Amino acid sequence: MSLRAHLVELRKRLTIGAAAIVLASIGGWFLKDFVLKAMIDPLTEAAKAGGHTTNLNFQLLTGAFDVQIQLAITIGIVVSSPVWLYQVWAFIVPGLKRSERRYVYGFIGTAIPLFLVGCAAGWWVMPHLVQLLTSFAPQQTTSLINGDDYVTFITKLVVAVGIGFVMPVFLVLLNFIGIVSAKAILNGWRVAVLVIFLFTAIVTPAADVVSMIVLAVPIIILYFGAVLVSTLHDRGIARRAAQFDAEIAY
């Protein structure tokens, strides 16, 4: 494809992905109250257990509305993930050989569940983070928490962990289309583990080492799972190449 054709294809995929997120966000608007309550409940329970009071505040006049919009968009991103993840793959497909395009079903069938599982893992860790961070407030005190910061922290945590769970799938994809070998992926395991821990440290508070490890371990396991799949793939290619050479020599 020419550069112009790639740009047209990119615009098409971005438009479809954005439209899916917008439509899903409209539906997410009707779920925002339920989600916001689920976010506030751990904050209230942690405050009662710690013997102090915690209030969620909005400093700006439009603060509460902005939070609801943010929640609706986040719900839209999660719900529409099958569509925009497919658009990512569909943009790559024109640059692949015909034999390589069969990987679409494996990519979509793996990436979508992993993204949703990652989002669920981030949501599961969230109450523990809230309990930990609010536990530092002394008894008989009141914590005034900015609503925008609180919701932004949780939404970034959920989406970031979901993306982190999908990254190993891209490594397998790069291996299957011949860009990177399994040996290269394995040789970079030290850097990969360091990057994973840095990533989980960014999306979780630095003080909460346990949550950082809880999120890092499954991503590391998925990374080495990508190494295993890539190794089996490379061995299969090498075996077929050897058989082909033997047939030619015969």
Give the contacts of 144 (CB within 8 A, at least 6 positions apart): 55, 57
The answer to pTM > 0.85 is no
Pick the more confident residue, 119 or 137.
Answer: 119
Average pLDDT over residues 118-127: 88
pLDDT at residue 207 tops 60:
no
User: How far, rounded to the nearest angstrom, does the alpha carbon of residue 121 sit from its chain's CA centroid?
Assistant: 10
Three-state secondary structure of 170-227: HHHHHHHCCCCCHHHHHHCHHHHHHHHHHHHHHHCCCCCHHHHHHHHHHHHHHHHHHH
pLDDT, tens digit, for every residue of 143-192? 778 888 888 888 888 888 888 888 888 888 888 777 888 889 889 889 99
**Please, what is the end-to-end C-alpha distance for the chain in angstroms?**
40
Distance between CA atoms of 182 and 172, rounded to whole angstroms?
9
What pLDDT was estimated at residue 135? 75
pLDDT at residue 199 tops 80:
yes
Out of 57-61, 138-142, 174-178, least confident range: 138-142
Distance between CA atoms of 36 and 126, rounded to whole angstroms?
13
